[in-house]
Copies of this chain bind each other. A is one copy, B any other.
Amino acid sequence: MKKKIASIGEFGLIDILRSKTSCSSDVIKGIGDDTAVVKMSSKKRLLLTTDMLVEGVHFTKDSSPKAIGYKAVCCSVSDIAAMGGIPKHAVISFGVAPSIKLDFILKIHQGMKTAAKRFGVNIVGGDTVRSENNVINVALTGEVNADKAVYRDGAKVGDKVFVTGRLGNSLNSGWHLRFMPRVAESQYLVNKYKISSMIDISDGLVPDLDHILKGSKVGAILYEKNVPLRKDANIEKAYYDGEDFELLFTVSPKEAKKILSQKKYIFYHIGEIVRESIGLLSVDVEGEEREIKMKKGFVHF
Identify the A interface with B (CB < 8 A): 1-6, 8, 10, 13-14, 16-17, 20-21, 23-24, 26-27, 29-33, 35-36, 38, 40-41, 46, 48-54, 56-58, 88-89, 91-103, 105-106, 109, 113, 120, 122-133, 135, 137, 139, 141, 300-301
Contact = CB atoms under 8 A, between A and B. Distances in A.
B51 A10 contact: no
A22 to B, nearest CB: 9
A30 B122 contact: yes
B300 A50 contact: no
A51 to B, nearest CB: 5
Contact of A101 (B4, B10, B98): B4
A75 to B, nearest CB: 9
Contact of A124 (B30, B40, B99, B125): B30
B129 A132 contact: no
Contacts of A94: 13, 52
A91 B76 CA distance: 12
A95 B54 CA distance: 8
Given A2-B103, A52-B93, A31 B124 contact: yes
B3 A300 contact: no
Contacts of A24: 120, 122
A114 B95 CA distance: 26
Contacts of A109: 17, 20
Nearest to A37: B124
A52 B137 contact: yes
A124 to B, nearest CB: 3
22 contacts: A2-B103, A4-B100, A5-B96, A5-B99, A6-B98, A10-B128, A17-B109, A17-B126, A20-B109, A27-B89, A29-B124, A33-B125, A35-B125, A36-B125, A38-B89, A41-B41, A46-B89, A52-B135, A54-B129, A130-B300, A135-B135, A141-B141
Of listed A10, A23, A33, A93, residue having the most chain B CB within 10 A = A93
A29 B125 CA distance: 9
B122 A23 contact: yes
A4 B130 contact: no
A95 B96 CA distance: 14
B93 A36 contact: no
A36 B124 contact: yes
